Structure formats: structure tokens, C-alpha cells
Amino acid sequence: NVTGNGANAIINGAFDIWQRGTSFSLSSGGVAYTADRFLAYADGGSAVYSQQTFTPGAAPVSGYESAFFLREVAGAGARIYIEHKIEDVRTFAGQTATLSFWAKAGAAFTLKAGLTQAFGSGGSTWVTIAEPTFSLTTSWARYSYTYTIPSLSGKNLGANGHNLDLIFSSTATAQTLDIWGIQLEAGSSATPFKRNAPSLQAEKATCQGFNYRVSADASTPYTYFGHATAGSSTTLRMPFYTKTSLRTFASAVEWGGSIIATTGNGSIYAITNVAIDAYSKEVPALVLTVASGLTTNTTYIIRADNSATAYIGLPAEL
């Protein structure tokens, strides 16, 4: 079974956590996070990224069980492109590190796994460490490669954005890729797969440090987001309590669906915008806007309005 002891630098390598949804359709040039910590790019054409479910007992290797894997279907003219940014370019610097993953293809093609040291804004020029290739077939198989990671001697780190970037890509177009169990660990051999964190709950908390989202669904269409106080007839301010500290200050809010402010006495005010207010990493604060009608200094409940698609999220990605 999948366990964890912190040896894996890839967060959510088992594709357990999907806070943003389970299916993402991107037009050519589109960029979006899909499964937590995995950035997708529609390279050269449209692409669909989706959560796929393992049949119990049918995971890639006997003795391993997992719930989900990631599938990319690249459309006509589109190439495979999936990126994972590992925080801090110091990771594995001056060492060897081994990548391993399970994958299969809709039809045989060659997959690349490029590893790059990115030194951030104002830092040294990126260094592409290696781009090994793997010949995928239509059956699940485990692949691995050992990188020699350069030291940081003589390098300058930028103010932000210095990461170790792993990018899966292809030159062939219109391919289907299934991938699971991605691991990058110190050393020259692949060991049994481990999550980044010691448990599924801890893995989710780690993901939430990069992106914290509260979402309604069909079973919770009246999801509660918090209490807010009206500062005027059109604005409310709400502390947005997260279960874990964000890794950095969120600069934007992601929100959608039908969200309302209500006093509980039948008065309902549709939220028309949500933005960042004064905040900290521990308790961000939001400012919410309605058309009119709020009573200054009155406290309102902020909740989904019988909406399975309502959400409020704070991205703090690399």
C-alpha cells in the first residue's frame, strides 16, 4: 500500500487530492492547475486533463492500491505537457536523485521527463539538468531515471520563484497519457512509492498550503464559508479561516457558483465579487461585494445558495 515518510519530493504524486475539480478542458495555449500541485498546458492544441479511478485490485503493480490517476488526452496538434514545481532550487542540489513513475499510453509514444533548476526573478539562468525519454506502451509499467543534480556554486537565487521543475512532455501529438505514482527521491535507485507526507490527511494539508479551497457539491449545496460584517451597503469583510497556513500570501481569490450573504431572516444578497483584503498567511481576509441593501455593521452569513458549484479558494502556488 502507499505509505509516506517524506522521502518523495513530489507532492500529491499519487493524485489523491483534487481541490479544483476532476476534469479540465483547455484550449490551445491554456494553462491551469488540475490535480493539486500539477500544472497543465495545452501545448499546440486543445487538451483534456481528468481524474480517472482505479478499479480496486487493478492498480499498476500488485501490492499497490490507490484511488486515482491522471489522464491527459492531447487533441489534434497538441503535445503532452504536465509540470510539477518543487519548492526551493536547493532541493537535491549537488546530489543524485531518482525519478520513478507508472504510465501507459493510448497508443505507444515517447515521453520526456525534463528536470530544470529555475533560479527565480533576477536570478541565474535556468539550468536544464536532463530530459530522459521513455518508450510508453499501452500497458502500465514503471519507469525510472537517475539525475545528477548540479550544485549551486556560482548561482544567484532570485527574490522568488526559485524551484526545481519537473516537466513531462512529448514531441508526438494527439496522444493519451495515463500517469500515477510519481516520485523523486535522493539516491541512485527507485524505492517503493511513498507519498510526500506520512498520511493521506497530511498530504491534503500540504496541498492546502499551496491552494486552500472550500467547495460546495451536490451533497452540500448550502456550504458555509464564514461570517462577514458589512462596512457599507455594498461591501462585506470576512476572515477566511484556513485549516493550514498558506505557504505565502495569496495575491488573488478564486471563486465561483452562486454565493450569498444572508442574515437568516429571509434577506438574501447575491455576492457579485470576492477579492483579497488585508490578510495574513494564517487568517486571510476577504472583501465581498453585493449590488446594494446591506446594513452597515450588521453580521451576515456567507454561504452557497443551493449551488453544487460554489467555491472560494486562495491560491498560493509557486
Contacts of residue 167, defined as CB under 8 A and 6 or more positions apart, other chains included, come to 81, 82, 83, 84, 112, 113, 114, 115, 116
Q: What is the pLDDT of residue 6?
A: 57
Please state, in angstroms and rounded to a whole number, the distance separating the CA atoms of residues 224 and 300.
11
pLDDT at position 5 is 53
Percentage of residues of the chain with pLDDT beyond 90: 86
Q: Are 275 and 308 in contact (CB under 8 A)?
A: no
pLDDT class for 1, splitting at 50, 70, 90?
Answer: very low
How many CB atoms within 10 Å of residue 49? 26
User: Residue for cell digits 478499479?
Assistant: 55
Q: Helix, strand, coil % (nearest 5) of the chain?
A: 5, 45, 50
Question: Can you tell me the distance from the alpha carbon of 228 to that of 246, in angstroms, rounded to the nearest whole number?
Answer: 21
As a whole number, mean pLDDT of residues 278-298 equals 89
Cβ pair 101, 38 in contact under 8 A: no
Q: What average pLDDT does the segment 48-67 reach?
A: 85
Amino acid type, 103 = A
**For residues 217-232, average pLDDT:** 97
pLDDT digits (tens, 9 = 90+) for 80-97: 999 999 999 999 999 999
| Residue 4 clears pLDDT 80, i.e. is over it | no
- For residue 62, pLDDT beyond 80: no
Q: Judge whether 15 and 51 are in contact, CB under 8 Å.
A: yes
Burial 151-190 (b: 16+ CB within 10 A, else e): ebeebebeeebbbbbbbbbbeebbbbbbbbbbbbbeeeeb
Alpha helices in the chain (DSSP H): 200-208
Region 270-296: mean pLDDT is 91
Over residues 230-235, mean pLDDT: 98
Residue scoring higher pLDDT (119 or 277): 119
Give the model's pLDDT for residue 41. Answer: 97
Mean pLDDT for the stretch of residues 201-226: 96
Q: Residue 195 CB: number of other CB atoms within 10 A?
A: 26
